[in-house]
Amino acid sequence: MNFEGNQKKFLNLKSLGFQVLKGAESTGKTTIAMHRVVKLANNYCLYMDEKIAVISNGEKSCKEAMNIYSEAKERVGESFYSLFSTDEERVRVLDLNSLINIYSKAYEKSFKMELKIASEDEKMELLKPLILEKIEGNKKNKLLVNNNEKFVLKEIEWIKACNFNKEEYFVVERKGRTKRLNKNSITRNIIFDLMLEYSLKLNNLGLKDEYDDVIFALKQTKRVKDKFTHIVMDNLETLTKAEIDFVKRLYENKDYSSFIFIINNNECDRENIWLKKGRKISTLNTESKLKSIVLKNQFKKEKIQISSMETYEFHDLKHKRIVTFVKDSASVEKEILVQEDDTSYIYEENELIDIPMYNDIAAGEPILISSEQESIFNLPSNWFKGSKETFILHVKGDSMKNANINDGDLVVIKKQSTALHNEIVAADIEGSATLKRLNLKSKIPYLMPENPKYFPISLEDKEASILGVAIGIIKNKN
């Protein structure tokens, strides 16, 4: 698909980690995010058990997201050769409220709790005697003695909606609150203690408030190992901090993971949402720096065009040349258009060879490599004269970046069990595979990284073997 401006920029982001996609209605946020999901599923789910969650609010929003994803997958998903194609669907579109309910009910069941939602009268009836107890020891506290029970209840609910511990509550900026409470004050300390006592007594009486379900769901995440490698979280501007924290707990933060926040510019009048006017997205305390892209242009569906052309660069390590080639993966016929030195040439199917591709190899610490062939990549046979047995591995990590081998690249390996000094090799070290430069200068052979933040790997007293020598690098330029 062809998108415009920041739409295209976000779709083709090379960086992963935490990202923000922000814009007004009809700027194509969900559409672009779903196309991004297809790319993530095809390129950044390295293992069979890795999954992607698209989390939205309400059945209608989930159906819309699922329809957009299905269309995107149909248009884009088959438009290139994927190393990670699988018959099992990796992507799950989930309703946030339903998800919280599942986790909350599981938590209640494990502790044999049967709780019903308390009415406003029941909450106040429970809270008033607790406040009176606090007044006995704090008679000079104006907030407690001046009949501020409703404010105290609202403050307690805000603390729960934000999933604060005491240290966080003591120092947080209380955006949008009706009364001023000084940071690290006695009043904040009293209210936080009241929150703990109120919540415990509420549950002991077989009751809960509307914020307990999220608190229970958060606790249940510690008991469940099911995580998502990538998460897209829609309508962030409508959520409480506790709800956002819950979804973040479902995230498995790997080197190649991503977490996409989608934010609409329109105001939300829901009580206790986190991103009130004036509160920055950085207050979400993500593990890495947020990459933010704002969409301003209206999304015009009539401008969308389906494109199945994929452009690659082949870096020939033996002859030190770079060749650009294009595949039309929507075509029934296998053809490759090669562009080199201002000339173009089409290689037809009988001029191509099928090169098996395997799951992944580490350009970093050694990782287990799957022996199961994942896919086939076609390249011109005359590029590999004298290299009868070749295979392709997907690179994970950045330890070889100074040799122009980056995370996500495909490396063509000539299968052989020996290698010369200074050649880049795929090596098996006691069942794990890695891509490094071979150093044979000293008595002890080493596998050398091309990134100063990694250490050489000594092969002394290790069961190690050469799988092959790197002869080419394939870079996806889309």
Q: Which are the contacts of 201, defined by CB distance < 8 A and separation ≥ 6?
A: 126, 130
- Annotated active-site residue in 22, 123, 414, 436: 436
Pairwise CA distance, residues 417 & 426, whole Å = 10
CB 72 within 8 A of CB 37: yes
Q: What is the enclosing helix (H) or strand (E) of 31? A: helix 29-43
Give the three-class secondary structure for 231: strand
Output the six-digit token pair for 106.
């599981």
Residue with tokens 């923000």: 20
Beta bridge partners of 434: 362, 427
Q: Which are the contacts of 349, defined by CB distance < 8 A and separation ≥ 6?
A: 333, 334, 335
Question: Cα 340 vs. chain centroid, distance in angstroms?
Answer: 37
Instruction: Examine the residue annotation and report whether 401 is marked as an active-site residue of this protein.
Output: no
Instruction: Examine the residue annotation and report whether 441 is marked as an active-site residue of this protein.
Output: no
Give the three-class secondary structure for 230: strand
Give the three-class secondary structure for 349: helix
Pairwise CA distance, residues 119 & 123, whole Å = 6
Question: Cα 64 vs. chain centroid, distance in angstroms?
Answer: 21
State the helix-helix crossing angle for 241-249 and 96-110, rounded to 10 degrees: 80
CB 279 within 8 A of CB 158: no
- Annotated active-site residue in 258, 399, 401, 414: 399
Residues identified as active-site:
399, 436
